[in-house]
Amino acid sequence: MMRNNNYCVIMGGGIGSRFWPFSKEQKPKQFLDFFGTGRSLLQSTFDRFKKIVPIENIFIVTNDAYAEITRQQLPELSENQILREPMRRNTAPCIAFACYRIRSIDPDANIVVAPSDHLILKEDRFIADINKGLEFVAKNPVLLTLGIMPSRPETGYGYIQVSEENIDGVHKVKTFTEKPDRELAQKFYESGEFVWNSGIFLWNVNTVLEAYKNYLPDIFNKFNEGKDVFNTPKEKDFIDACFPFCPNISIDYGLMEKAENVYVITSDFGWSDLGTWGSLHEMAEKDENNNASLNCKALYFESYDNIVAMSDGKVVVIQGLEDYIVAESDNALLICKKSEEQRIKHFVTEVKFRFGDEFV
């Protein structure tokens, strides 16, 4: 039985520049169907959460620029369920906006907050963990996150150190750690004390707003000025006026790393944040030479460990490449070593500077 005071916030405002040009500013990665399933990452995220909370309790926070495509991809949602940010201010203001809106509807809401672009392979396990988490935060005034059991010493994820201290088997967080170097990642992995930070959070609305008051008073005070306009026709004007004054800060850095009452459920549900071409290559189906083809028909000759992504089912022939990304969309083509993919953001900046916005 779904509890009606459980709510879900899906963050869908990112620009996905790491996946340029497959993902572009007018259609970032959360709106793309990476694996040919017929559903975009955003739609797949929505499909998962509607098994956990009632559809009318699901909210998408996105940029004004993506409100229309969000509506097209999720016609089940009313316009009121798409919360539009006038500008990007990272996750702390975005989540505050959603929490204030939800509190105006239900002053005792329990909320799960999740990114729109993650891949979850073991859905039943994911649903069980989210339900467990929602029950836990309904009873305990804590900020809860899901930590993923690491399968390797990964340098691309943040880590959470798990303490022995626990409530009903849910452990307190000792520390949050930014992305480590290779040597440190190896130590984290071997110690057994660390889990990957999934970026999925659960809390009661009152617990989280109390944390904003204590640790992010700038954001709390700004939103509190308009606490009576949420869920009214005046809300949008208020948000447009207030967002420019919010600091550009993530929820991890602003709240989770500072608060004392942070707990973690350790999970294993086949998770990837699909943050890099490397993580996408790992999750995609591959041929006998470890080549992955997304959205296209590809023939490989003397080629190994590549990932090829096309915008509309083209035929691609690759010869003599090893460990490359080949990605195309309409008017742009990228050919880049997989090991150098952290430079893609720099390439995008250079393209924008030399050739204009139409290519990014």
- DSSP states along 183-236: HHHHHHHHHS-EEEEEEEEEEEHHHHHHHHHHH-HHHHHHHHTTTTTTTSTTHH
Dist CA 282 CA 293 (whole Å): 12
Distance CA 313, CA 297 (A): 7
- The whole-model pTM stands at 0.93
Retrieve residue 158's tokens.
Answer: 């943040």
- Per-residue pLDDT tens over the stretch 203-247: 999 999 999 999 999 999 999 999 999 999 999 999 999 999 999
Instruction: Give the mean model confidence (pLDDT) for residues 4-16.
Output: 91
* Sign of the dihedral through C-alpha 224, 228, 232, 234: negative
Per-residue pLDDT at 290 exceeds 60: yes
Q: Is the peptide bond before 21 cis (omega within 30 degrees of 0)?
A: yes
pLDDT of residue 11 exceeding 80: yes
Cα dihedral 266→268→274→279 (10° resolution): 110
Q: At residue 299, does pLDDT exceed 70?
A: yes
Q: At 169, give phi and psi (nearest 5°).
A: 85, 0
H helix count then E strand count, the chain: 11, 17
265 close to 172: Cβ distance less than 8 angstroms:
no
- From 153-162, 233-242, 251-260, 280-289, the region with the lowest mean pLDDT: 153-162
> pLDDT of 175-195, one tens digit each?
888 887 888 889 888 888 899
